[in-house]
Each structure stands twice: as C-alpha cells, then as structure tokens.
Structure 1
C-alpha cells in the first residue's frame, strides 16, 4: 500500500467529528489493518452506577476501526460505507480502561470488503466485543 493511501485514510479518520467527540485516536493503519484507541471518559458512561462505557460508544469505535481497515487495504477504492456490522458484546469494559479496537479487512471484492474487528480493554483474554462487517467499496470513475 502506498504511503499516500495510508495518509489519506489517516487524515479522513482523524478529521471525523464523532471520532474527536469520543476521544478516539488512530494508532496504526496500513495494508488492510487498523487499530484505534478510545480512552475512558465520564461522558461515555452508559450506566452511572457501575461506570461502564455505553455500548453505542464501543459500536462507534468498532465501526470506525473497521472502515479504516477497509480504506487502508491495497485494493480499496476512493470511499467506503458500512453495509452491515454485526457486533457481539461479550462483557462490560472495565471502568477506567482504554478500549482498543483492532480490525482486519480479510477479503475484498470489486464492490464489497469484509472485515473482522475486536474491542479489548486489556483486562481479560475475552474481548469486550467482536464483530464482522461488510462495507461498500466505491472505486470512482
């Protein structure tokens, strides 16, 4: 993959307002893989009694990371959009922990990319959530 494609993907992800609002930071990207961190923040809490992060924030992290992996794939087009993202939530993230999403674009057709993504908080071998997704790939004219 060219450094140019990587930089375009990085600039796009880092410029998304929801990424900034959720505190996401792109750690690695390239060759169909991406890793994005989302630090713990009180504004993301879904259960005030336990301090657990809302599943919607985890979902946004995983979707964004999956899209970044697609954008960085060597056969990626000029744009991508989520067609389907199935997320299995396995446990609550540990309050206070940074959540890390890691995505791999494992298959690319002319029009659709297929991705696996997991979210972890470093406190267990069991991920917080795991997902599979399909993303539209637009190649432009």
Structure 2
C-alpha cells in the first residue's frame, strides 16, 4: 500500500538538506530521497584536496558528505521525524577517492527507536564496486508534537 505521507517527508527532507550552508559550499546535490534512504553527490573540487601531491579529496569533506546523507535518510524515514542531529558517526575509510571523480554517498535509515535512529552509508567514487568509505551512525529523532 502506498504511503500517503511519503511525498511530504521527501519534501521536508529535501528542504532540510538544501538549507544547510556547508552542503551548498561543498557542492552537495541530493539525487535521491525516499523511504529507502538517500543519495547525495559531491563533485570533485580542487579546493577540497587534502593532499596536493596526489589531488585526493580531504577525508573531512567525505565525512561531511556521509553525515549529511545519513541525516537525509533519517528525515525521509516513515517514522516522520521533523528534525535530527548526529549523536555518533563512525566512518571507516577503505581507500582514497580517485582524484577528479565525483563522490556519491548512499545511506539508509534501518531502525528508528523512540528517540534514536540508526543509519548506515557507503561512499563511492566512479568505481561502485569498491567503496571509498562506509559509515554507521546514530541520530536524534525529534517528532512533531501532537
């Protein structure tokens, strides 16, 4: 059965992400958001390079992308939170993203308790068979007051 509130949640989550100043500065683009989670891309930008010798994007930019995508996944979850904040985020970096490639992060909110949501995410460059990083996190869940 279709969820009648899915479009509203998606709209709220999109507005939430698009209003974050650092997401704009880093060039993040929300490319998918639905009950299953979110996907956000970040283009390669020489200003974000952490190692000038190799041209590799700084891990902090990748971390911000993954955190933002996880928050979007929480906002779009059927539990319908109106706001969220990161409580804990663990990121495991598998390899450096290839210089010049866009980074794509996909996140899913797989469990929501009364006040905490649990999320997992994966970041990729052009090679979707080999992750750049994975993340697991816990996020606050603020629901609308009835």
TM-score of the superposed pair, with normalisation by structure 1: 0.96
Task: Give, in whole Å, the separation in 2 of the partners of 1:123 and 1:12.
Answer: 29
Q: How does 1:9-88 map onto structure 2 within 5 Å?
A: 9-88=13-92
Deviation (angstroms), 1:125: 2.0
Q: CA RMSD in A?
A: 1.0
Query: Is there any run of 5+ residues in structure 1 with no aligned partner, and where?
Result: none
Quote the residue 2:11 is aligned against. Answer: 7
Instruction: After TM superposition, give the deviation of residue 42 of structure 1 in Å.
Output: 0.5
Quote the Cα distance in structure 2 between the aligned partners of 1:36 and 1:76: 20
Aligned partners of 2:6 and 2:35 also within 8 Å: no
Instruction: Give 5+ residue unaligned stretches, structure 2.
Output: none
Counterpart selection for 1:125 from 116, 123, 129: 129
Whether the 8 Å CA contact 2:89–2:138 is kept in 1: the answer is yes
Alpha-carbon distance in structure 1 between the residues aligned to 2:140 and 2:128: 33
Corresponding residue for residue 94 of structure 2: 90
* Aligned residues of 1:75 and 1:108 also touching (Cα < 8 A): yes
Tell me if structure 1 keeps the 8 A contact 2:37–2:107.
Answer: yes
2: CA distance between counterparts of 1:22 and 1:104? 22
SS at match of 1:6: helix
SS of structure 1 residue aligned to 2:65: helix
Distance 1:140 1:2 in 2: 16
